[in-house]
């Protein structure tokens, strides 16, 4: 019963994620209108065949802006996870496999970062670096390093004493080959699940920082900034906030289901000898 639920979550996650990826990829090459084009005659226009999601207070087409904003949010979240995941996995792999003084030093640094709330730490970095898309990516990437490092280290600690690792050592395989050819594939489901969870958090963090005005800056379309700009007329033109908010929810929800499904579908550690 539990496995069936995990598979359902995985299918739902794949379906939602595939839909959102198709939506944002189309937005890279085509949008019905210029996302930044203003039309005074279309201010606060309600959803219609001409403007599927309506228009905002500048007469900009919300459908086009949501397409571009979804792409921006995905880009920021994906690069943040790539940066934090790569650094975190390498840190966790080396500390978990070799241990010793390297483990002590890097894990103490890791613990120092974890001791601060992640969103607060990201805000500190943004305050120091300044707002902007790439500064948000760097800040979130640094924040995500500890979570990837901890889960990778934990898995490498348990895996390095497995029989298949001992056999590889007896056959003369190098440490790097053992780490990244033998052990890493066996811990990949946990890392992928962590990446999906991290992506979910990155989407929400980017939207939150853009909502506060310290994230992605104009002229880049941002779902969080769109939500911020619409709060003054939420009751008179709710579609201006509903559709950007729905895009944030679907992006986060898709990867949330995926993380649960990936973890459920992952094989037991050590299965690949």
User: Rounded CA gap, 226 and 242, in Å?
Assistant: 10
User: Rounded CA gap, 115 and 118, in Å?
Assistant: 9
Provide the terminal-to-terminal Cα distance of the chain, rounded to the nearest Å: 29
Local structure of 55: helix, strand or coil: strand
pLDDT tens sequence across 208-235 = 888 888 888 887 888 988 888 888 888 8
pLDDT tens sequence across 101-115 = 877 888 888 777 777
**Residue 272 reports pLDDT greater than 70:** no
Residues 102 and 95 sit within 8 Å (Cβ to Cβ): yes
CA-nearest of 195, 207, 193 to 249 is 207
Local structure of 161: helix, strand or coil: coil
User: Rounded CA gap, 155 and 150, in Å?
Assistant: 9
């Amino acid at each position: 019963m539990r496995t069936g639920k995990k598979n359902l979550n995985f299918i739902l996650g794949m379906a939602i994620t595939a839909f959102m990826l198709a939506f944002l990829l189309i937005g890279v090459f085509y949008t019905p209108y210029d996302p930044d084009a203003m039309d005074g005659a279309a201010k606060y226009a309600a959803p219609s065949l001409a403007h599927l999601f309506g228009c905002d207070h500048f007469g900009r087409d919300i459908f086009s802006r949501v397409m571009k904003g979804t792409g921006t949010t995905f880009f920021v979240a994906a690069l943040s996870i790539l940066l934090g995941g790569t650094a975190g996995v390498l840190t966790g792999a080396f500390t978990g496999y070799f241990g010793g003084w390297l483990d002590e030093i890097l894990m103490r640094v890791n613990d120092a970062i974890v001791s601060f709330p992640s969103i607060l730490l990201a805000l500190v970095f943004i305050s120091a670096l300044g707002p902007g898309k790439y500064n948000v990516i760097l800040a979130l990437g640094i924040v995500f390093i500890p979570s990837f490092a901890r889960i990778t280290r934990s898995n490498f600690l348990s895996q390095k004493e497995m029989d298949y690792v001992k056999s590889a050592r007896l056959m003369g395989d190098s440490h790097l080959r053992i780490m990244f050819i033998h052990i890493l594939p066996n811990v990949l489901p946990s890392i992928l699940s962590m990446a999906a969870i991290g992506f979910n958090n990155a989407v929400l963090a980017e939207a939150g920082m853009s909502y506060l005005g310290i994230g992605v800056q104009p002229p880049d379309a941002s779902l969080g900034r769109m939500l911020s700009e619409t709060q003054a007329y939420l009751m008179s033109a709710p579609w201006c906030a509903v559709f950007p908010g729905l895009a944030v929810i679907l992006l986060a929800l898709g990867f949330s289901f995926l993380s649960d499904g990936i973890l459920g579908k992952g094989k037991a550690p050590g299965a690949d000898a």
